Amino acid sequence: MRRVYVETSVWSMTAPNQDSALRGPTIEFLERCKRRVVLPCISAVVAAEVARAPFDARTAILRHMAEISPVLLPADEQVEVLARRFIEQRVLSDRRLDDARHVACAFVNDVDLLVSWNYRHIANVRKAEGFNAVAVLAGLTACLAIHSPLEVVEWE
């Protein structure tokens, strides 16, 4: 079963006030997670970002998380070191450290796929190439695929 890191932007789309063009594919993707077509994973970074969400959004997100029961991956020192390398190598700016931590956590924990709606900082080809290059230079051999929920839903 594919292990999939579900980044915070995906969970955020479960809030009722979100655009239906993004919310629909998100709910469809999370239903697949719930049925264990893929094994959903999160980190403490996701949990911390969700905790800072407005009450209504946080309530919706936590309801979906409770239904899906994602695996909580460790975000240890190796994750922090790799995240800082993404910043040092200018894949992301230092203001995007949590985004770097999401990606680093996926790499370090051998996740097959990272799913995100964050096209600007995570889910685009140029960023994926940068993340993968830095990870290889750091001694990791796995290649991480990064896609949006819409792309993943369209695969099946």
Residue 142 has pLDDT above 90, yes or no: no
Give the count of beta carbons closer than 10 Å to the beta carbon of residue 78: 16
Over residues 126-134, mean pLDDT: 96
Provide DSSP, 13-64.
TTSTTS-HHHHHHHHHHHHHHHTTSSEEEE-HHHHHHHHTS-HHHHHHHHHH
Residues 34, 6 contacting (CB under 8 angstroms): no
Q: How sure is the predictor about 141, in pLDDT bands with cuts at 50, 70 and 90?
A: confident
Q: How far apart are CA 100 and CA 94, in angstroms?
A: 9
Which residue ranges make up each domain of the chain?
3-155
Helix axes 44-51, 97-108, angle to 10 degrees: 150
Collapsing DSSP to helix, strand or coil, 3 comes out as strand
CATH for 3-155, options being 3.30.9.10, 3.40.50.1010, 3.40.50.2000, 3.20.20.140 = 3.40.50.1010
Query: If you compute the radius of gyration of the chain from its CA atoms, what whole number of angstroms results?
Result: 15
pLDDT of residue 156: 58
Convert the pLDDT of each residue in 50-100 to its tens digit.
999 999 999 999 999 999 999 999 989 999 999 999 999 999 999 999 999
Convert the pLDDT of each residue in 5-29 to its tens digit.
999 999 999 988 888 899 999 999 9
Q: What is the DSSP letter of 135?
A: H
